[in-house]
Amino acid sequence: MKSAYLVIARRAALAVPLVAALAGCMSSTPVWDSRFGDSYRATMQAQIIDPHAADHAPATPVVSGTAAAGAIDNYNQSFQKPEPKTNTFVIGIGNGGAQ
């Protein structure tokens, strides 16, 4: 009789931590999980000032082909002949106006 009691007591002692461990896997936040991401979506919608801005936006200005080609040429030439770098440590140092 005593050995049967010990077997049941040992099994019960092992079962309690097992049940507690399995209970840790269960979701205990069903209310929070159902609203997951609501704050993010509300913040994104608050940042949109005018959701229909494209519907009433002014037309983009038309640029002639000659002006566009000139602008591209100026842009490309600015990289071919960069402005010379000045020494920033000598700003304000000069001959003092002496001749």
- Condensed to tens digits (0 to 9), the pLDDT of residues 9-43 reads 777 777 667 666 666 666 666 777 788 889 999 99
Interval 61-67 mean pLDDT: 88
| Degrees to nearest 5, angle at CA 24 with 33 and 13 | 160
Please tell me the pTM assigned to this model: 0.28
Query: C-alpha 40: how far from its chain's center?
Result: 12
Q: How far apart are CA 74 and CA 82, in angstroms?
A: 12
The dihedral built from the CA positions of residue 46, 52, 58 and 60, taken in this order, carries a sign that is positive
Q: Which long-range contacts (CB under 8 A, 24 or more apart) does 76-83 make?
A: none
